[in-house]
Amino acid sequence: MKSTPPIIDFPLAPPGTMGPPAEYGRLLAHCPVARIDIDPKATAWYVTRYADVRSLIADPRLVRPSISDWPDGSDLGDQDPRLTTMMELEGPEHTALRRALTDAFSVRTVRRYLPHLRQLAAGLLDSLAAGAPRGDLVAGFAEPFPLLMMCDLVGIPYAEREYFLPMADAALGAMQTLGEGRRVTKPLRAFVTTLIDQKRREPADDLLTYLVRECDSGVLAEEAVISFGLSMLIAGYRTTTMFVANSLLTLLAEPGQYARLRDHRELMPTAVEELLRYIPVMNGVVVLLATEDIELHGHTFHKGEGIHIVLAAANRDGSVFPDPDRLDLGRMVNPHIMFGRGAHNCIGSHLARAELTVALEAVLDRFPALHLVDGQPPTWDDESPAKSPLTLPVGW
Ligand code: HEM
């Protein structure tokens, strides 16, 4: 007889921590499919095991719903603008955009960005260190470093960050908490379309200008270029900020880990992969929508139902990662799934890896004796899904 999956509250990281939520272990062991209560008008499932997450994330029968339409799009008319990023694009429009961007995000091209990344990191750390024995590693480094890189690459004015950052964060959070992001749909789209118009008038050496040309020569639709701009604002830097901040906090908080990496730089490639596996940023949830009935463990996800697949839980699955809750900077076999898989896998994964590597190397070089400050713990916004410190006070 089939058992009915239990209904659970959305698992959250313990307050004041990056997580993972305590429930992951129990769900992984005993409950591969649970139902989560997120909206009375929608049915949503929660899937944690590595093999299931790995297969569902690349399953073409599942699409990424826009936060404008799911779990409840009844307040929007057909003509109202949607917050459509690359993730929600499907079919030829998505393929054409991915193809247009292949070279810009390839390993080879990202290698060419390395000197610029190193220069950015060194400059920020010099400013942070100037005149003070301590400072905030988030405001001084983890936040501006990937943001500056993304702005340079894409052609988004860094000087306007105070305008676009709060909207971009609301949209990123909405992928998980739903709600807030809808409020910013119109102004975020307006910000991107204004930028696109500006690139047409004043072309520059950046990705938006290049995509505008592809659009004007008929290769891409205007909507695809807008989606790219929205994707960069929402996915193009904040995840890296969170990873850099949480990685440094983890290395400093776990005895001996910072010194181990400082003194054994040959560990850097495996350390970066292990931090990607270990850090459960935003619970690592991807929301999918079934376009037809799908069976898993004797349970049927019906067409129109949502499935939350939890990358961060999959990355702690003991059947794949021995001793999964231990941070092992030298872990050799590490098929983590933090960048997803399939048609929508993270297009920025090579850039993110380069940013994380350069960030760690630059901090280890500049501050060999970096430490957390007694009596000044990191601060967190426990209402936010970000699960990354707002401030990270350190001394050097
Ligand atoms: C540590 C940092 C990062 C993590 C953990 C991460 C993770 C992910 C994941 C899991 C997906 C797949 C989502 C899905 O299947 O629906 C994704 C997609 C995406 N990421 Fe990243 N990402 C990171 C950094 C970046 C950066 C630096 C960029 C660009 C500058 C970027 C741009 C994108 C885009 C555009 C997509 C959508 C791709 C598509 O739908 O075709 N990401 N990311």
pLDDT tens string 205-233: 999 999 999 999 999 999 999 999 999 99
Distance CA 156, CA 365 (A): 30
CATH class for the region spanning 7-395: mainly alpha
Q: Region 54-58: what's the mean pLDDT?
A: 98
Question: Among 79-93, 249-263, 318-332, whose mean pLDDT is lowest?
Answer: 79-93
pLDDT recorded at residue 377:
96
Q: Is 243 in the pocket of ligand 1 (CB under 6 A)?
A: yes
182 CB less than 6 Å from ligand 1? no
pLDDT for position 178: 59
What's the token pair of residue 381?
């916004």
In the numeric block, the tokens 């933090």 are attached to 338
Predicted confidence at residue 175, as pLDDT, reads: 54
Higher pLDDT, 352 or 234: 352
Q: In angstroms, rounded to a whole number, what is the distance separating the alpha carbons of residues 172 and 219?
A: 28
Give CA–CA dist 51/54, Å, rounded: 5
Segment 47-64 shows an average pLDDT of 97
- Out of 1-5, 11-15, 174-178, 342-346, pick the least confident: 174-178
Q: Tell me, what's the pLDDT at 162?
A: 95
- Is the pLDDT at 294 greater than 60? The verdict is yes
- Could you tell me which residues are beta bridge partners of residue 203? none
Find residue 7's DSSP bridge partners: 35
Q: What is the pTM of this model?
A: 0.96
| Omega prior to 14 cis, within 30 of 0 | no
| pLDDT confidence band for 268 (50 / 70 / 90) | very high
Percentage, residues of the chain above pLDDT 90: 82
* Ligand 1 proximity of 351 Cβ (cutoff 6 Å): yes
User: Cα of 249 to ligand 1 centre, how many Å?
Assistant: 22
Task: Indicate if the pLDDT at residue 177 is higher than 60.
Answer: no
Query: Is there an atom of ligand 1 within 6 Å of 57 CB?
Result: yes
Residue 74 has pLDDT above 90, yes or no: no
Coil/strand/helix, residue 36: strand
Per-residue pLDDT band for 171 (boundaries 50, 70, 90) equals confident
The C-alpha angle with vertex 143 and arms to 228 and 187, in degrees rounded to 5, equals: 40
- Torsion region of 178: left, alpha or beta (phi above 0 gives left; psi -120 to 50 gives alpha): left
For the chain, percent of residues with pLDDT exceeding 70: 96
Of the pLDDT bands very low, low, confident and very high (cuts 50, 70, 90), residue 122 is very high
Q: For all residues of the chain together, what is the average pLDDT?
A: 93
- Phi, psi angle pair for 10, to nearest 5°: -60, 120
Any ligand 1 atom below 6 A from CB of 236: yes
Residue of 115, 62, 52, 15 whose CA lies nearest to 380: 15
240 CB near ligand 1 (under 6 Å) = yes
Is 144 buried (19+), middle (13-18) or exposed (0-12) by CB count in 10 A? buried
Q: How far is the CA of 240 from the centre of ligand 1 (A)?
A: 10
Q: At what angle do helices 222-235 and 144-154 cross, to 10 degrees?
A: 170
pLDDT exceeds 70 at position 176 = no
Query: Is residue 1's pLDDT more than 60?
Result: no
Look up residue 333 and give its amino acid.
Answer: V
- Residue 234 Cα to ligand 1 midpoint, Å, equals 10
pLDDT for position 232: 96
Residue of higher predicted confidence among 388 and 181: 388
